[in-house]
């Protein structure tokens, strides 16, 4: 089972890392076309976010831009192409946190927001309210200039097929045999900018055939998303209920701040220790610390992931 991808960088040298979910297509089922589409999408997200960092932009700018690219790509389970819940409806979750100020914003169960990460960012700028749900999130977005879309905008044939398969699995009692790709997926980004500031953002459609109203870890600050300039920025992916139970994002930060662990040590123990021991679902994350070190650990067969610096661009799906 894979452990982690790691990268070390110089302090305050911009770096951006992303994940497109540990619900990756199994290696045996990954066609050359799907492989190319996923890798190209990861590259676009990395290059878009890094262009802002390279020009002196903030980590907040970079993570929001990178996640927005993935929200527009049906390869991933966020925004356009997000998973459908049991009722055949898209309910979208997202959050963003600024490591320099501690400000954060999040939405959960939104149905009409084209780019959830943009609204999460707008909420982070005020941080009061910090988290809005359902119709209130949709309404706030509309009141603040974000053009609404119909819920059907997010639907793709692939997601309709996935919902049908998952409902059939439930009827036949074979849900446990579903792949991580069939079940869930998330996108996220973390960044360190030239000013030494960190930020993290996460966006998801949740898991296929989830109960209406279910909220996972992605919009929960301290669970699926965390950023603090003293330690690290993290975005999680996997079984959200587990991330919430252990306050995964804050736990990684605390291991570093109070326990003196490195980013690699903390991420290893969180993913392959704490979360794996709980069972019941896969887990992965992307994280960067204040020194520019990157980790991309996961405990599933694969995770869409990558990072970019001034001289390196790396993308992967399985243990490459």
Residue from 186, 225, 237, 300 carrying the catalytic annotation? 186
- Alpha-carbon 163 to chain mean position: 21
Token reading at 265:
């040590």
Q: Give CA–CA dist 83/74, Å, rounded.
A: 10
**Among candidates 166, 233, 243, which has minimal Cα distance to 204?**
243
| SS3 label, residue 47 | helix
Contact 3, 303 (CB under 8 A): no
On whether the CB atoms of residues 168 and 179 are closer than 8 A, the answer is no
Residue 137's nearest CA partner among 215, 226, 201, 207 is 215
Active-site residue, 262 included: no
E strand segments, the chain:
6-7, 15-21, 92-98, 104-110, 131-133, 187-192, 198-204, 225-227, 232-238, 283-289, 294-295, 304-308, 313-316
- Residues belonging to the active site: 186
């Amino acid at each position: 089972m894979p452990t982690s991808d790691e990268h070390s960088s110089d302090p305050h040298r911009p770096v951006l890392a992303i994940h497109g979910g540990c619900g990756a297509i199994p290696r045996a089922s990954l066609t050359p076309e799907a492989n190319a589409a996923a890798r190209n999408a990861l590259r676009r997200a990395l290059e878009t976010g890094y262009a802002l960092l390279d020009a002196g932009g903030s980590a907040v700018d970079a993570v929001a831009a990178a996640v927005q690219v993935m929200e527009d790509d049906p390869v991933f389970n966020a925004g356009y192409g997000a998973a459908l819940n049991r009722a055949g409806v898209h309910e979208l979750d997202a959050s963003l946190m600024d490591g320099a100020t501690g400000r954060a914003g999040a939405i959960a169960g939104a149905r009409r927001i084209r780019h959830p990460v943009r609204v999460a960012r707008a909420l982070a700028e005020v941080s009061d309210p910090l988290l809005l749900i359902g119709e209130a999130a949709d309404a706030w977005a509309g009141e603040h200039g974000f053009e609404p879309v119909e819920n059907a905008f997010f639907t793709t044939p692939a997601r309709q097929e996935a919902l049908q398969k998952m409902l059939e699995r439930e009827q036949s009692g074979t849900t446990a045999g579903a792949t991580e790709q069939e079940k869930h997926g998330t996108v996220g980004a973390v960044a360190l900018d030239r000013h030494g500031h960190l930020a993290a953002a996460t966006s998801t459609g949740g898991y296929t055939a989830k109960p209406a109203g279910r909220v996972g870890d992605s919009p929960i600050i301290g669970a699926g998303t965390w950023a603090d300039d003293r330690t690290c920025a993290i975005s999680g992916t996997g079984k959200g209920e587990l991330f919430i139970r252990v306050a995964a994002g804050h736990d990684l930060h605390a291991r570093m701040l109070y326990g003196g662990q490195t980013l690699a040590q903390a991420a290893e123990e969180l993913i392959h220790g704490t979360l794996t021991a709980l069972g019941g679902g896969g887990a992965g994350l992307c994280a960067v610390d204040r020194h520019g070190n990157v980790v991309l650990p996961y405990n599933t067969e694969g995770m869409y992931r990558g990072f970019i610096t001034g001289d390196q661009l790396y993308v992967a799906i399985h243990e490459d």
